[in-house]
Chains A and B, each alone.
Chain A
Amino acid sequence: MKILTLFSLFATYSSGNSINIEENVGQFFSSGHTNNWAVLVCTSRFWFNYRHVANTLSVYRSVKRLGIPDSHIVLMLADDMACNHRNPKPATVFSHKNMELNVYGDDVEVDYRGYEVTVENFLRVLTGRLPPSTPRSKRLLSDDRSNILIYLTGHGGNGFLKFQDSEEISNVELADAFEQMWQKRRYNELLFIIDTCQGASMYERFYSPNLMALASSQVGEDSLSHQPDLAIGVHLMDRYTFYLLEFLEDIHPASKSNMNDLFKVCPKSQCVSTPGHRTDLFLRDPGSVLITDFFGSVRKIEITMETINLTDPIQQVELSPVNEELQIEKYSYADQLPVSEIIHQRVHTFVLNLDTEQKVIGNIQQQMSLCRFHVEPTFTNEHLFLLIPPFERVLGIQNTPSVLGCIPL
């Protein structure tokens, strides 16, 4: 009881003292992500589906321009339009008529091409269940601090998306894949954009937290293509992605546009279909989510002249062999909190070590590493939220009474 009051006094004191740094720290962690990934998929083949490849390549181009490197982009194109025999301008894929914009460029890196773009490969990329021989460029090596952008385009219908003229992925499968990703902590936040006919049906079944979804048309509507090019002889882009590309061309890495602007892209007057979005599973308010949180890879660096106290590095407890044999820990699934609790809790950035009664704030690096530590809920506080990372067993600190918490806001 005494400890409680002491610690609460400490908390209020120190919070008042270093409010500036905390604010900065708070801002740094406002989104909670540290790296960005993008999975861009075009699912249709054949020359007359030129526009789907152009769609995907234009999103790829924007994403690369805003900073996500090729190593963090998984680009899946089901057919090769640039080198198709029917392309009058070989090695190009245009998105605007009169050949204004070549989205193919000369540094495209396609990770999955042609017949490799299948439902199975797509799901394996998302869930990470790839054979060990898969090269790194074909893997989605995201972690629980990754914001992932997933963009799908092709031919779809009510509840499914057609892959390559021979198979389909259903919205239930996709929702389950995202749930697998959530349970394996493969994403921090995920933005899902789909540009197909009846695209809204694909995000109807999502149930994992931290998902935001946009679609180009509602159930029962068709997404229309934008403009044909009279020299090439095909439709170059779909309307929704065309206006999305136009919107993204105005975004630069420092821009402060947020998701509400993205929701306004392509109203019915331009798109003919009604774009839709879904944000109920998302924790943060869409107005506070920056476009660059998903489309770019922005590293924020703040230089401070103040000294910041660091804690002693955490002593690593070594696993001592008992009876001359290594105790093999029994693996078990991490404890899960029900989704509703996760969504509705308000949290502070608050780190406390009861053993030492020290406060550890300010060291960004250490805070980050602390975040990975196990949290044993010996102490529940309505303000504390306990996130269990997958690294709990590494440090063998299960039974310490210390309480560490890192909380994304």
Chain B
Amino acid sequence: MGLLSDPNRRRALISLLTRLNAPICVVCYMAGVAWFMGLAFEPFTLRTYMSENAMGSTMVEERFPAGERALATGREFAAHKKKAGGMPVDWLVKTMQSHGLEVFTQRFSRTLPFPDENKERYMVKGTNVYGILRAPRASRTEALVLSAPCTPGDNNNQAVGLLLGLAQYFRSQVFWAKDIIFLVNEHDLIGMQAWLEGYHHTNTTGMDWSPLQGRGGSIQAALSLELSSDVITSLDLVLEGLNGQLPNLDLVNLFYAFCQKIGVLCTTQGKLQRNDWDSVSGYSHAVQTMMLMVMKQASGRSWGDHGLFLRYHIEAATIKGINSFRQYKTDITTIGRLMEGMYRKLNNLLERLHQSYFFYLMPSLSHFVSIGYYMPAFGLLAVILLLRALDLWVQLTAPPPRTEDGVVDPEQMSSPGVLSVLTPLVISHLTGVALYTLPIRFQEMAVEHFPVSETEAVVLTAIAVYTAGLALPHNTNRLLSGGGTEQGWKVLKLVAVLYLAVLLGCTALINFSLGFILAITLVPVAAFVTPHVPKFLSAFVMIVLSPACTLLFSVFFFQELQEMPISFLDGWMLYLSVISQGILDHCLYGSLVYPLIALLVYPCWLIFWNILFWK
């Protein structure tokens, strides 16, 4: 007979499962964490390689000559920017036209739901300027984008200067098979969002923009340039986009190949690659780089202007020039040559980049871990939840113990009412909805009553709703008719564990880092909480492992990883601003982290909190 249909064997298997459940869970958890840490170990990673045949091994001799002129243009741009107090639209239009591009502008405006304290803006009005270099002989079906942001102050002037210099140089070549769009966007991500929405005729975030007069066909790839100094020591590649989406690995391979060819120092996450992978410090360096990427990806923010392109299936990355205290400096002509080389390679593309991986982690710029290698780490954590669910199922379907006189205890036999299980679910989710909607909606009322600014009002309302939810179990139990039964909490926990498993699974598929971080903190909670564990200790542990505290610890951890540790007070202020940024990201660009946490993860955690205080 089969393993599961033979009653004897099945009973043996089930007894094994129930006996060894806790130890297996612990082992799986350790194994999952160990697997994840092992991902950064160099022998377990693969070297990056170019997968796309069209961007093959041959390279062109780059001949971009006009670095100095680009710097001069950048200085002119800075002067006009200062004079105009924002984007010097007329000067940009005139310059681009003199280079022979087809120039168009786009106006946009947006009122943020509450003021953004980091960037000090509330009612945003701006203009994007873009010039299209038409391919000399090709039909206008495909395009590439090169963008540089127009930021206030002294930043990114050289980027715009280089952009204009490249535009002039590219215009004199005949081998372009795709249109190249040179975009200067104002108010970084907001302007980029307006431009992309206008280009693709979508309107997902409720922004107000004027339609685009000129278009270039479907965009195959995009690069965003951030350069704030005349010379640089290294180039940093920023990959993480909105909702943790990453560009195709071939774009990274392309960048790395050109860095090696031209001889520029290239980094990812701002960390230089090390060769001593077998030493402890080398390994920890790789782990730090990978953890930085995981943190950035989990936040769901777009860490460069390129992040918004990824949603439209356009492979994009941001290249940042970094000027640190190194001796060997690279001048702007070399950067121009690197960009020229990359664009010539992208010019050879026949179809969108699709040959290489879309899901990967990078412990360094030349090594990567693909989804097939990192998913088992999450799988091991998810197995814990399934084992727990099986255990509960077995307990629920086991025949009740008979009392001495053979009469079965009626109270234990009664199956829990649907209401007793449904009520905590509904109330938890309602709290989640409250956490999602109340902060923004009631900010005016909060400002009236308390001496805080709007941003602080929003954040503090969120924290208040979150904390109020902790008082729920007592209220829920009052609503229940009578007390909960032993069966009741088991059914509720079974439902909650499966719910968490599905939720974390789906999250990990889309944004592995977010799913994994949530799994690390929530799976122990889900596995071990019962009404019978010591209340105060477990309450404390649960709060420490709740999403809000995870976020707090992540903020401090992130600062540590970037080698800029901060004090507790500063960390707390940073934490508040992170929450406000998360809410803003959701309202402005459609980031899904805030709704996920508020509407799904937090209610799930509340259900476990309910179980803990089950009476």
Contact = CB atoms under 8 A, between A and B. Distances in A.
Interface residues of B, number: 20
A87 B61 contact: no
B176 interface: yes
A169 interface: no
Contacts of B54: 46-48
Contacts of A86: 175, 177, 347-348
B344 interface: yes
A90 B137 CA distance: 10
Nearest to A83: B137
A128 interface: no
Interface of A: 46-48, 83-88, 90, 228, 230-235
B56 interface: yes
Nearest to A87: B175
Nearest to A236: B58
Contacts of A231: 60-61
Contacts of A232: 60
B280 interface: no
A233 B55 CA distance: 10
B59 A90 contact: no
Contact of A233 (B60, B136, B137, B350): B60
Interface in B49-71: 53-54, 56, 58-61
Contact of B348 (A47, A88, A90, A228): A47
B137 A85 contact: yes
Nearest to A233: B60
B59 A85 contact: no
A228 to B, nearest CB: 4
A86 B177 CA distance: 6
Contacts of B136: 85
A344 B476 CA distance: 103
A231 to B, nearest CB: 7
7 contacts: A48-B54, A48-B58, A48-B348, A84-B177, A85-B137, A232-B60, A233-B59
Interface of A is mostly: loop
Contact of A46 (B135, B175, B176, B350): B350
Contacts of A84: 177
B90 to A, nearest CB: 34
A231 B173 CA distance: 12
B176 A85 contact: yes
Contact of A85 (B56, B58, B175, B344): B175
A90 B173 CA distance: 12
B496 to A, nearest CB: 52
Interface of B: 53-54, 56, 58-61, 135-138, 173-177, 344, 347-348, 350
A90 B174 contact: yes
B61 A230 contact: yes
A235 B53 CA distance: 13
Rank and list the top 3 A-B pairs by shortest CB-CB distance, nearest first: A230-B61, A85-B177, A233-B60
A87 B348 CA distance: 10
Contacts of B137: 83, 85, 90
A36 B493 CA distance: 86
Contacts of B59: 228, 230, 233
B63 to A, nearest CB: 9
A99 to B, nearest CB: 13
Given A90-B174, A233-B59, A233-B60, A85 B135 contact: yes
Given A47-B54, A90-B174, 19 more contacts: A46-B54, A48-B56, A48-B58, A48-B348, A84-B177, A85-B135, A85-B138, A85-B176, A86-B175, A86-B177, A88-B175, A228-B58, A230-B59, A230-B61, A231-B60, A232-B60, A233-B59, A233-B348, A234-B58
A129 B138 CA distance: 37
A232 B350 CA distance: 17
Contacts, number: 45
Contacts of A85: 135-138, 175-177
A106 B498 CA distance: 73
Contacts of B58: 48, 228, 233-235
A233 B344 contact: yes
A46 B348 CA distance: 9
Nearest to B175: A88
Nearest to A235: B58
A97 B174 CA distance: 19
Contact of A48 (B53, B174, B175): B53
A87 B347 CA distance: 11
Contacts of B135: 85
A76 to B, nearest CB: 21
A335 B227 CA distance: 82
Contacts of A228: 58-59
B174 to A, nearest CB: 6
A232 B135 CA distance: 17
A230 B344 CA distance: 12
Nearest to A46: B350
A161 B176 CA distance: 31
Nearest to A225: B58
A272 to B, nearest CB: 15
Contacts of A48: 53-54, 56, 58, 348
A381 B136 CA distance: 73
Nearest to B139: A85
Nearest to A47: B348
Contacts of B56: 48
A88 B61 contact: no
A233 B56 CA distance: 10
Contacts of B350: 46-47
Nearest to A51: B58
Contacts of B173: 88
A47 B58 CA distance: 12
Contacts of B174: 88, 90
A46 B344 CA distance: 15
B333 to A, nearest CB: 18
A231 B58 CA distance: 11
A197 to B, nearest CB: 14
Nearest to A84: B177
Contacts of B61: 230-231
Contacts of B53: 46, 48
A228 B61 CA distance: 11
A88 B56 CA distance: 18
Contacts of A88: 173-175
Contacts of B347: 86
A313 to B, nearest CB: 62
Nearest to B60: A233
A228 B348 CA distance: 15
Contacts of A47: 54, 348, 350
Nearest to B177: A85
- Indicate the member of A48, A87, A232, A235 with the most B CB atoms within 10 Å: A48
A115 B138 CA distance: 19
Contacts of A235: 58
Contacts of A234: 58
Nearest to B56: A48
B348 A230 contact: no
A46 B61 CA distance: 21
A84 B174 CA distance: 11
Contacts of B348: 47-48, 86, 233
A233 B63 CA distance: 13
A47 B61 CA distance: 17
Contacts of A83: 137
A288 B56 CA distance: 44
B98 to A, nearest CB: 24
A228 B54 CA distance: 15
A232 to B, nearest CB: 8
Nearest to A228: B58
Contacts of B138: 85
A48 B56 CA distance: 8
A85 B136 CA distance: 8
- Indicate the member of A232, A233, A235 with the most B CB atoms within 10 Å: A233
A231 B347 CA distance: 14
Nearest to B55: A48
A46 B173 CA distance: 20
B62 to A, nearest CB: 9
